[in-house]
Structures are given as structure tokens and as C-alpha cells.
A and B are shown apart, each in its own frame.
Chain A
Amino acid sequence: GAVVSQHPSWVICKSGTSVKIECRSLDFQATTMFWYRQFPKQSLMLMATSNEGSKATYEQGVEKDKFLINHASLTLSTLTVTSAHPEDSSFYICSVGGIDSPLHFGNGTRLTVT
């Protein structure tokens, strides 16, 4: 199965700054990656589907101008949280899966905005 590397594992930033999170598929060329968000003691909520070479597809209620997704290669997708605010503090997780294979998840990035 796919092995997913996510970086950084945690980051603290000041309000108003931007933060970039990387998701790499180590074993698999992924045309599609998924970005999830998880608040404490809650389940994962899909934010967007990252598509290699084209625009990401965002779920309803997710601001695409705030959460910029770039999927420039088959092994790398990035999520940039722009002009971060304390309410953006959360656990962000990416996932990768192949055709007819289940999704594997990265170890997540804990973002704290002060």
C-alpha cells in the first residue's frame, strides 16, 4: 500500500501569516490526494480533493482562497493556510489511495495559530 509522508508534524505561527503543509506519496504515483481536517475529539472532515495538474475540488463551506492547494507532481501535494487565524488551529491530514485500493493517511500536521 501507499506510504504517505506529511511535513511538518507540528507548526506554530502568528495570526496573519501563512503556513505550508506538504504531503508526499512515497510508494505510489497519486493523481489524487485528499486533505482532511480534524478538531479535538471529532472525526475527520474532508476539506478538498487535490488533483494533479488541475484545480483542487473543495467541499462545501471550505474557502478555496484561504486553503490553497497545489498538486504539481504525482508525488507531492501542498496545502497552504493563508492569513491564518486562531480558529484555523486544527489537525490537518492528507491521504493517498490507488485505483481499487484504500486510502492511507499521513501522520498529520498540528497547526497552532497564536
Chain B
Amino acid sequence: QKEVEQDPGPLSVPEGAIVSLNCTYSNSAFQYFMWYRQYSRKGPELLMYTYSSGNKEDGRFTAQVDKSSKYISLFIRDSQPSDSATYLCAMTPFGNEKLTFGTGTRLTIIP
């Protein structure tokens, strides 16, 4: 079993829809959780960064962490074609330590 599981997709939704992306993990030591967006042939771009359980909102993006269930989510509201990318969840026991990544979910927003 992988430490971090993420549905690889691909996921296609119409423009304006709410997108839900999820990851599960097995290592209870993970405390810091991140979501990255990666466009083709580019490095990952940090979207959300959360510590421990709870919700965090930034514009159209909301990150949720449920440590009791070892489950994290990223919600994208009012999705736009520019949101089409691969989304990677990542986590670590410490904020600046090496990350453990999910496999990434490829998302396409259809205009």
C-alpha cells in the first residue's frame, strides 16, 4: 500500500462546476498538507498549505484536512478552463522536510 493514495483521473467537468479532489494517507505522523497545481512541462505551484486538521479557504479554493480519517480534500469553486492541470497532494511530518506526493489527478475544465 502506498503512503499516499490519489485518484489519477482523468477528471473532466464543465466550466463553473465545483471540483472535489481527494487524497488518503496511511502515515499518522503527517502534520503538514499541501496541494500543488502543475501545468504541463512546468514545476508544481503551491496552492494551499495547511497544518493539522481543519479547513482553509483562499479565493475559489478550499482545503480540508481530517486527520482522524487520514483524508484530505481540495475544492475548487466556479471552475475555469485555466484550472485545467494536474493537481498533486503532498504531505510531510515537518513543514520544510521532504514531501511525500500523491500520484496526481489530471483535471480538465470544459468550456
Interface residues of A (CB under 8 A from B): 1, 4, 6, 32, 34, 42-44, 46, 49, 91, 93, 95, 97-108, 110
Contact = CB atoms under 8 A, between A and B. Distances in A.
B44 A105 contact: yes
A99 B42 CA distance: 25
B33 to A, nearest CB: 10
Contacts of A99: 95-96
A97 B44 CA distance: 14
A105 B103 contact: no
Given A6-B43, A98-B96, A100-B95, 11 more contacts: A43-B101, A43-B104, A44-B88, A46-B99, A93-B44, A97-B95, A97-B96, A99-B96, A102-B32, A102-B34, A103-B46
Interface of B: 32, 34, 36, 41-46, 49, 88, 90, 95-96, 98-99, 101-104
B9 to A, nearest CB: 11
B42 to A, nearest CB: 6
Contact of A46 (B44, B96, B98): B98
The interface residues of chain B, by DSSP majority, are classed as: loop
Nearest to B96: A97
B46 A102 contact: yes
A95 B95 CA distance: 13
Given A43-B101, A43-B104, A44-B101, A101 B44 contact: no
A108 B41 contact: yes
A91 B34 CA distance: 21
B50 to A, nearest CB: 10
